Amino acid sequence: MAMVGLFWITEDHVYVGAAPTGTASGVRLAKDGVEILGLGRVRSWGWDEVRGIDVRDVAVRSPARRLASMAFDSLVVLVTGDGEHPPAFTVRVETEADGTVEADALAAVPGGIHTPDEYDLSRALLARLVSGATPVEDLLVRRRDEPEDVAPTRDERLALLRQWTTASV
């Protein structure tokens, strides 16, 4: 699996945030459409039924502030021994038939904090996925081409987001 911006990419699916486990909620993007998962229920829509996907409540900091926040959080865990789950953010799926449906997703990035570039490019990619300008398959092919144990660097992740948000169909 690889984390790129707000996305957790496996060989078969793209998740907005971390891939949910157990009863945790999440949003999965597949070739056929969008699924909201969690609490033993699945709601799904084909891409032709989805009018928009957006995110709210994402922690966004400059690279320097992100590093400082992560260092502080690590110190708190070291001193107290009290680690927390990654922070959640809200994913809003706007559909033709059901209106706007919200789901929580857990951040996949360490510390749960994204840089402004990652956040802006991720939101642009969500819009392109909905419009069909960038197919989900483009993200999946990239993941399948990489060895399982290799994670892209920060610069590579930003380059991928830029590529996916500017590619022509």
Give residue-wise pLDDT tens across range 89-120: 999 999 999 999 999 999 887 677 889 999 99
Range in 6-15, 47-56, 138-147, 158-167 the model is least confident about:
138-147
Contact assessment for residue 69 and residue 113, using Cβ atoms and an 8 Å cutoff: yes
Cα–Cα nearest to 10, from 143, 126, 153, 141: 143
pLDDT digits (tens, 9 = 90+) for 20-58: 887 788 999 999 999 999 876 789 999 999 999 999 999
Distances (CA, A) of 63 to 2, 102, 140: 20, 29, 27
The domain limits of the chain are 2-166
Cα–Cα nearest to 18, from 88, 78, 74: 88
